[in-house]
Amino acid sequence: MYLAKIKKYAQLGIIVFLAVFVSNFLMSEVFINKSPVIRKDLKTHMTAWFNNNMSLSKLIALITGKTARENEIARKKIEEGYNNLQKVAFTQIAPGVKVRASENFSETSYDVQGVKWIKHKVVVDGIEHEYGWPEGKELPSQSMLENMFR
C-alpha cells in the first residue's frame, strides 16, 4: 500500500518537474525567440496586458511575428557592432581592459555584451587622440594613455 502511494507521488513529482521544463522550453524557443532583450521584457509586457495597459493584439504581436523581426534587427545590430569592433585595432593596456584607437569611433557603439562605449579625447605630446571606453568603467590613467598612444 505504501509502495503504491510512494509510486504515485513520485509519478506526480516527475510530471510536475517535466512540465516546468516543457513550459520553459516553450517560453524560450517558441514565444520569446531566444532573445534576451525580449525575455527580459516579457514580464513587463504581460504585466501591462494584465493591468489593461496593453491590448491583447499588441501583446500577441510582441510575442510572435513582430518581435521575431525586431529581434533579428537587434541581433544584426549587435553583430554589426561586434564586427566593427573586430576591425578596429585594440591594444591591451591593462589586464582585461582594451583601448580602441580609431578615428571612426561611433558615439553609440555597443559591444557584444551590450555595454556602451563612449568616445573620449586625450592629448599626448601635443597631439589629440580619441579612444573608446566602456561606460561606467574607471577611465585609464594619463600615463597608461601616454604609453598607449606614444
Partner 1 sequence: MYLGPFYFDTKEIFLILAAIIVGLAMFFNWPLIWFNPKILLTLIILMLLTKGLLPAIHNEAFFILAIVTVFLTLYLPFFQIVLFYFISFALFRLLRVI
The 19-58 contact track toward partner 1, x by CB under 8 A, reads xx-xxx-xx---x----------xx--xx--xx-------
Q: Which of 12, 60, 61, 97 contacts partner 1 by CB under 8 A? A: 12
Q: Strand runs (DSSP E) across the chain, as ranges? A: 90-94, 97-101, 109-110, 116-124, 127-134
Applying CB under 8 A, which part among 3-11, 79-87, 88-96, 99-107 lies near partner 1? 3-11
Residue 66 makes contact with partner 1 by CB under 8 A: no
Task: Choose between 19 and 61: whose C-beta lies nearer to partner 1.
Answer: 19
Q: Which residues share a beta bridge with 129? A: 122
Query: How far does Cα 79 stand from its chain's mean position?
Result: 11
DSSP-assigned letters across all residues of 7-31: HHHHHHHHHHHHHHHHHHHIIIIII
Number of helices (H) and strands (E) in the chain: give both, helices first.
5, 5
Size of the site for partner 1 (CB under 8 A): 22
Cα separation, 105 vs 83, in Å, equals 13
In the complex, the residues that contact partner 1 under the rule CB under 8 A are 8-9, 11-13, 15-16, 18-20, 22-24, 26-27, 31, 42-43, 46-47, 50-51
